[in-house]
Amino acid sequence: MTEDGTGLLTIGALARATGLTVRTIRYWSDEGVLTPVARSSGGYRLYDSAAVARLELIRTLRELGLGLDDVRKVLAGERTVAEVAATHVAALDTQIRALKVTRAVLSTVARRGSTAEEMTLMNKLARLSAAERRRILEEFVEETLHGLDTVDPEIRKRMLATVADLPEDPTPEQADAWVELAEMVQDAEFRAQMRRATEFNAADRGPEAPSGASLWFMKRLIDLAGDARRRGIAPEAPEADEVLRELLGDADPAAVLERLDAASNDRLARYRELMSVLNGRPLAVHAEEFAWVVAALRARAGR
């Protein structure tokens, strides 16, 4: 208090009452969030007892990360605490998302031992807008399928439907997956690789083939090869002949083997894995079933 018995408080008295520094209180006063009620004869700012409670509110709002402009509006009655809190939550969500992307870039750089140029590219890809991210993936799918009229319509529909993006609240794994996927689908070599595999697998599809036939074949492969494995039939065993006949029908075994080889390289498998992570769905690989059929076909290739 002042010594003239008015009951008003100097900045020093406020500092002792609240535990704040004189410098902080003076700054908030200069910014207009704590207005003095009077001045002493010597020109010093004086505050009433309500300033203690006001300072506690200011401190709380500042500790929660609100800017002085929002604090000023709350104190002036222009906005409620609830309104400001809701706005701040939205801002925090944006900051958290940005931090997750930053974490993804840095963790990838650390894992790969990336150069400064690679880090710059990853950072640029990671910070694209949602519309820009989706455009990149849709362009990749369209480039892969462009002009291939013999691609199974169900395969085309599934590829476009599964174009993945970062969810609103991505996990660190999903943020990492996006950075890697964005690099992959913009890599000219990988795009050409995907195009070649798609062209090859569509090459012998006749105009009369029903929609969904490719998916049906894959399901049959998984079912039949899975059953053969459970029964203990080795790929090179004579009993495998019947399994292949049931699976292939009149199809050329050598052509089927070539198609399976084209679709089973490491980079294509990694692409499917990354899409699965982004979509938040487990990846059904069925690697053992595919390997069994490939081994069975190779065992008979020289006959």
Beta-carbon contacts of residue 28 (< 8 Å; ≥ 6 apart):
34, 55, 58, 68
Q: pLDDT at position 159, please?
A: 65
Q: pLDDT at position 23, please?
A: 94
Please write the tens of the pLDDT for every residue from 133-142. Answer: 778 878 887 8
Cα 263 to chain center, whole Å? Answer: 25
pLDDT below 70 — which residues of the chain? 1-6, 126, 147-166, 168-169, 199-217, 261-265, 282-285, 302-303
- What is the pTM for the complete model shown? 0.50
Q: pLDDT at position 88, please?
A: 82
Beta-carbon contacts of residue 200 (< 8 Å; ≥ 6 apart):
258, 259, 262
Q: Do residues 191 and 143 touch, judged by C-beta distance below 8 A?
A: yes
What the block records as the tokens of 231 is 């029964």
Q: pLDDT at position 26, please?
A: 93
Q: pLDDT at position 25, please?
A: 93
For residue 105, which of 180, 38, 171 has the smallest C-alpha distance? 180
